[in-house]
């Protein structure tokens, strides 16, 4: 069958491409309904990757955060009309030591492979997770981002020592907000402190115990463990402050993406015996855990609604460009595309 794929062929330029879709039995045909724009999508859209990377990866359909409606399921996993979250990671092997999202052979939608900006998406049954019928679809659209936070907090539980009285989160953006929210659900007794650059953003962190501007950190404050959720130019300062503030033998979770190398004060890392670990993307188990978290803690969905910055009904190429351009002007939150092409 023919499928229309909306590919980015050059920065700020989308084109519809008709492609032949493999209709092999055993897969699930999904019609995307709500797609969420990520910073990674914007780096391609705005041409903020290197020329060599753009030349190697474009043309490519963007978006790796999204949900859709099942049109056909030959595997019997779902029924026609079911709402599902689409998993962007496509592994080709299993490894007893390495998770699917870290295998070098895995393909990732919207990063060298077509993402979800398509008329229909054909997925393996393992690449979908059913969603509750009553879920807010604008929030569910960025479940992938929430699953990344769930993945990082899950790994933190494995790598960190048992004293988790005080946990610091550096970053007042989307990832800092979601990581803090997941930590509150999984470690309800922990004292959560958020460190950020923008007081108006931290006003929405009503579920944490303290917030501090990074240039006004009180003397004597200390955390048992820390999460770095800044990325970009903010990573270096955040990691420096974390190393100064964290207690000996604490664990530091690195989540911020930086295009440039970041200096780390290894002398104090050694002196304090710190553990630093990185987390990127997520796997099926993390998506399933995220959906379960939604069901067990419905207030999480209410808090996540605060991140829905703007929604756009998408019926044409110009609508797609309008949504992406509007997304470049926001300082916080998620832009959701209601996919009607």
**How confident is the model over 55-91, as pLDDT tens digits?**
999 999 999 999 999 999 988 889 999 999 999 999 9
Q: From CA 147, how far away is CA 42, in angstroms rounded? A: 20
103-123 per-position pLDDT tens digit: 999 999 999 899 999 999 999
Rounded to 10 degrees, what is the CA torsion of 140, 141, 145, 146? 0
Q: Categorize the per-residue pLDDT at 21 as very low, low, confident or very high, splitting at 50, 70 and 90.
A: confident
199-251 per-position pLDDT tens digit: 999 999 999 999 999 999 999 999 999 999 998 888 999 999 999 999 999 99
Beta carbons within 8 Å of 320's beta carbon, 6+ residues apart: 6, 14, 117, 314, 337
* Structure tokens that stand for 173 in this block: 């953006």
3-state SS, one letter per residue, for 88-153 = CEECCCCCCCCCHHHCCCCEEECCCECCCCECCEEECHHHEEECCCCCCHHHHCCHHHHHHHHHHH
Radius of gyration in angstroms for the set of CA atoms belonging to the chain, rounded to a whole number: 20
Give the sign of the dihedral formed by CA 12, CA 16, CA 19, CA 25.
positive
What domains are defined for the chain? 2-145+282-288+307-339 (3.90.180.10), 147-278 (3.40.50.720)
Residue 24 pLDDT exceeds 70: no
Rounded to two decimals, the pTM is: 0.95
């Amino acid at each position: 069958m023919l499928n229309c794929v909306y590919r980015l062929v050059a920065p700020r330029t989308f084109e519809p491409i008709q492609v032949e879709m493999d209709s092999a039995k055993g897969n699930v045909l999904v019609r995307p309904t709500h797609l969420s724009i990520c910073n990674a999508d914007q780096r391609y859209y705005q041409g903020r990757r290197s020329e060599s990377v753009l030349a190697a990866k474009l043309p490519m359909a963007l978006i790796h955060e999204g949900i859709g409606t099942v049109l056909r399921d030959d595997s019997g996993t779902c029924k026609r009309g079911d709402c599902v979250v689409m998993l962007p990671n496509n592994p080709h092997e299993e490894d007893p030591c390495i998770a699917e999202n870290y295998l070098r052979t895995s393909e990732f939608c919207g990063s060298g492979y077509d993402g979800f900006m398509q008329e229909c998406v054909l997925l393996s049954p393992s690449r979908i997770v059913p969603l509750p019928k009553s879920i807010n679809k604008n929030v569910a659209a960025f479940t992938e981002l929430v699953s990344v936070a769930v993945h990082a907090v899950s790994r933190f539980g494995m790598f960190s020592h048992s004293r988790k009285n005080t946990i610091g989160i550096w970053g007042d953006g989307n990832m800092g907000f979601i990581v803090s929210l997941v930590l509150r659900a999984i470690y309800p007794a922990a004292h959560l402190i958020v460190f950020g650059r923008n007081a108006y953003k931290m006003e929405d962190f009503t579920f944490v115990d303290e917030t501090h501007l990074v240039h006004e950190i009180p003397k004597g404050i200390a955390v048992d463990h820390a999460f770095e959720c800044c990325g970009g130019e903010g990573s270096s300062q955040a990691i420096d402050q974390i190393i100064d503030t964290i207690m000996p033998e604490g664990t530091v979770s690195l989540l911020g993406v930086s295009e440039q190398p970041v200096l780390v004060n290894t002398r104090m890392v050694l002196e304090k015996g710190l553990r630093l670990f990185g987390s990127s993307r997520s796997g099926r188990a993390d998506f399933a855990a995220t959906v379960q978290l939604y069901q067990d803690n419905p207030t999480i969905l209410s808090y996540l609604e605060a991140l829905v910055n703007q929604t756009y009904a998408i019926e044409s190429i110009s609508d797609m460009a309008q949504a992406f351009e509007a997304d470049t002007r926001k300082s916080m939150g998620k832009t959701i595309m209601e996919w009607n092409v």
